[in-house]
Each structure stands twice: as structure tokens, then as C-alpha cells.
Amino acid sequence: MVSTRLSQQDLDSIEQAVQKAEASTRGEIVAVILPRSQSYRWVPFFLSGFMAVLATALVILPLEWSPSPWGPSLEALVMIQLTGALLGAVLSQIPGVRRFVIPRLQLDAAVEKQAQAEFARQGVMNTNDRCGVLLLVSLFEHRVHLVADRGIHSVVEAGYWSEETSRLAAEIRSTHHLRDAIVHSIERLGVLLAEKFPRTADTVDELSNRPRLS
């Protein structure tokens, strides 16, 4: 099982990986690890409503098939609905249940939108040679996203980014630690950037190498 907890030592390892990767390139790599990309506030309301309806149906439907004069009173029916709604609210706090309810396309879109926002917020779009890369891991969604600046897109095939994203996601699922997958991806990005944007005598480190947490 993959551990999503990052210790101080893990953060130091990621920072060192970025520093080492950038030692041979003008490119900048910024790693961002977020607990989630969106709040999905609608999920508790949806699950509460769904469970209230389901609880009601489980009581009412058998009476339709086998009529009985001893059906639940209005007060009992309200209590059943409230119990179902409460159960739905509790279930919505379980990450796996919450994630199951949210459409995959919405999860994808939320992470992509957050990655674009972080790309601007962290200053990756402001490097001198426009050769910065943002690596975002969104823990709740179980998704990763890479955003490269336009200088890199001009010399790197678009297919590379989808391949690296898939490779990083697969490593996160299979490795025993989130840190290892992130470090390996940073190392691969460093090789690419060193080839396309080799370091020069006047190269300076424009952005902090420390991974960003929110």
C-alpha cells in the first residue's frame, strides 16, 4: 500500500532531487503536493439525500409488494429518513466513498485546473527562458498533473507529458512510498531539461527547490 504521508526527511529528499536535477539545466522544476484540488462541497448533501431516499424505499417498497395495515407512521418514516441522511453524511467523510461518488471527469478537471493555478501562483511561468515544469500531486483525487512552460513545449513532443504523467501515476500506485515516485519523476525531468536546456555560465536558480505543500 502506498504511503501518502511525507515526513521532513521525505521533503528534504524531494528538495535534494530538484537541486540535483537542476544542476545541469537552465530549467526549473517545482513539486507541489496538495491534500485535494477541490472541496467538492456538494458530496455530503448528495449522499445525505441519496441515503434518505434509499432508506425510505427500503421501507416502502416491501409494502407495495405485500400490503400490510401495519405500515410505518409518519413520525417513524421521518426518523428513517433522518437516519438515512445522517448515515449519508457520515459516509461522505470517508475519502474512498467520497471519491467514488465524484465523476472521474470532474476529478480530472479539478486537478488540471488546480495545476494551472499553481503554475501561475508558484511563479513557474515567469522563468527567463520559459522552461519551468510544475509537478502536481493531488492526494485525495489520486491524480498527478504536469504543466510545462511554452519554451519546453516548443522542443518537446506533446506526447511526452502524457507518458510521464501515466508513468508517475503508475509508480505512485506501485511503490511503497510517494516520495520515491516523485523523486524518480524529477530525475527523469532533469535528464530531459539538461538535454534541451543545458546549464550555462550565467544560469541562476530562479525558484526555490523546496516542495510546496498546502
Structurally, how many domains does the chain consist of? 2
Return the SS3 of 135. Answer: strand
- CB contact at 8 A, 211 and 31: yes
Rg (CA), the chain: 24
Tell me the torsion sign for CA atoms 40, 96, 14, 31.
negative
Residue where a domain stops, chosen among 101, 127, 151: 101
Judge if 97 and 109 occupy the same domain.
Answer: no
Give me the pLDDT at residue 97, please: 96
Ordered per-residue pLDDT tens for the chain, 214 residues: 445 678 999 999 999 999 999 999 999 999 999 999 999 999 999 999 999 999 988 887 766 656 555 556 778 888 999 999 999 999 999 999 999 999 999 999 999 999 999 999 999 999 989 999 999 999 999 999 999 999 998 899 889 999 999 999 999 888 668 999 999 999 999 999 999 999 999 899 999 999 999 7
Residue where a domain stops, chosen among 53, 78, 101: 101
Judge if 175 and 205 occupy the same domain.
Answer: yes
Beta 132-138 vs 28-34: how paired, if at all? parallel
Give me the pLDDT at residue 125, please: 92
Measured from the Cβ of residue 128, the count of other Cβ atoms closer than 10 Å reads 13
Give percent of the chain with pLDDT exceeding 70: 92
Quick check: is 26 in a domain? yes
Give me the pLDDT at residue 1, please: 42
Q: Which residue has the cell 501515466?
A: 166
Q: What is the distance between the alpha carbons of residues 1 and 33, in angstroms, rounded to a whole number?
A: 19
Judge if 86 and 137 occupy the same domain.
Answer: no
Q: What is the distance between the alpha carbons of residues 180 and 10, in angstroms, rounded to a whole number?
A: 9
Measured from the Cβ of residue 147, the count of other Cβ atoms closer than 10 Å reads 22
Judge if 132 and 190 occupy the same domain.
Answer: yes
Judge if 132 and 63 occupy the same domain.
Answer: no
- Helix or strand run (H / E) with residue 134: strand 132-138
Q: What is the distance between the alpha carbons of residues 88 and 94, in angstroms, rounded to a whole number?
A: 10
Q: Which amino acid is at 129?
A: D
Residue where a domain stops, chosen among 56, 82, 101: 101
Judge if 68 and 153 occupy the same domain.
Answer: no
Judge if 107 and 93 occupy the same domain.
Answer: no
Question: Which domain covers residue 57, as residue numbers?
Answer: 42-101
Model confidence pTM above 0.75: yes
Q: List the beta bridge partners of residue 178.
A: none
Judge if 109 and 182 occupy the same domain.
Answer: yes
Quick check: is 66 in a domain? yes
